[in-house]
């Protein structure tokens, strides 16, 4: 036994696999393990210190980025539907803008379409209402004309306020005219001509005795005035449709605050 132990020790020393470079392949040295663990601790401490020193807003933004990316990659159904309808509205409005400029397909009819738009402008209607009011001698006529003047003024103010809130541009880059600046009709939504035409046609249908052909012509005039603004490239289709809706609502508002004959006489006397 004593002789066999020195022999086994010598055999272990002479074995090549027991050398340090071969043992390190399967069993890393303790010094390397300690150095790696210390480097990991230092890097972890540096990371926590950097995270503590970083701005809280940046940390919130980094936490919110994945959620924002998910919202952009997975939009809601309402957002997709709204953007699709908006794209269709812009595309159809550009195609129907056949009189937007002289080079358009119906560029020769631009002057006639502009003239049709003037028939729905607020300034000629206000001026005509004032002239008729001065020349009117009946109490019933003065009452209708005073309420019509009130409806026209309300239309201008309501449409101008809504356009300032929406600030939507038209399908074509067309500068507003002088009359548009006077009535503050400088944006596209809602269409002021369409709202005024709808309000006037409804007002005349309710308060004037007209034959059936005239009633039909009055409705056709309102529709032509509204869609002429699309043909000239000034408004989108949805601007005109919303203008018709607002015109009807303005008529209902005037009916609610209808001024009596005594009130109209008092205002006329003051004037």
Residue 58 CB-density burial (10 A; 0-12 exposed, 13-18 middle, 19+ buried): exposed
Of residues 231, 271, 249, the one with CA closest to residue 104 = 231
C-alpha to C-alpha distance for 50 and 44, rounded to whole angstroms: 10
Residues marked active site are found at: 193, 235
Give me the residue label for tokens 């397909």: 105
Is residue 228 within 8 A of residue 222, CB to CB? The reply is: no
Give the SS3 label for residue 127: helix
167: left (phi over 0), alpha (psi -120 to 50) or beta: left
C-alpha to C-alpha distance for 53 and 55, rounded to whole angstroms: 7
C-alpha to C-alpha distance for 140 and 147, rounded to whole angstroms: 11
Residue 224 CB-density burial (10 A; 0-12 exposed, 13-18 middle, 19+ buried): middle
Using the 8-state DSSP alphabet, how is residue 65 labeled?
Answer: H
Report which secondary-structure segment, H or E, holds 30.
Answer: helix 30-53
End-to-end CA distance of the chain: 137
User: Can you give the length of the chain in residues?
Assistant: 271
Is residue 233 within 8 A of residue 100, CB to CB? The reply is: yes
C-alpha to C-alpha distance for 165 and 108, rounded to whole angstroms: 35
């Amino acid at each position: 036994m004593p002789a066999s132990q020195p022999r086994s020790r010598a055999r272990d020393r002479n074995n090549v696999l027991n050398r340090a470079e071969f043992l390190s392949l399967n069993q890393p040295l303790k010094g390397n393990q300690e150095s790696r663990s210390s480097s990991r601790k230092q890097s972890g401490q540096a990371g926590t210190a950097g995270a503590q020193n970083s701005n809280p807003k940046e940390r919130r933004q980094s936490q919110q980025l994945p959620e924002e990316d998910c919202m952009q990659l997975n939009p809601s159904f309402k957002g997709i539907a709204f953007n699709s309808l908006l794209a269709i509205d812009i595309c159809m409005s550009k195609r129907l803008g056949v009189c937007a400029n002289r080079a358009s397909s119906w560029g020769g009819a631009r002057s006639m379409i502009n003239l049709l738009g003037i028939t729905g402008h607020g300034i000629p209607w206000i001026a005509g209402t004032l002239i008729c009011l001065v020349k009117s001698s009946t109490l019933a006529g003065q009452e209708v004309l005073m309420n019509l003047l009130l409806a026209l003024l309300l239309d201008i103010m309501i449409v101008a306020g809504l356009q300032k809130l929406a600030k939507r541009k038209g399908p074509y880059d067309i500068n507003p005219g002088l009359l548009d600046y006077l009535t503050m009709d400088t944006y596209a939504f809602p269409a002021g001509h369409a709202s005024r035409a709808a309000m006037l046609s409804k007002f005349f249908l309710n308060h004037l005795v007209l034959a059936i052909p005239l009633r039909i012509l009055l409705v056709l005039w309102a529709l032509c005035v509204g869609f002429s603004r699309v043909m000239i490239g000034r408004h989108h289709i949805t601007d005109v449709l919303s203008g018709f809706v607002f015109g009807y609502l303005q008529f209902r508002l005037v009916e609610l605050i209808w001024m009596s004959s005594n009130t109209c006489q008092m205002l006329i006397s003051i004037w």
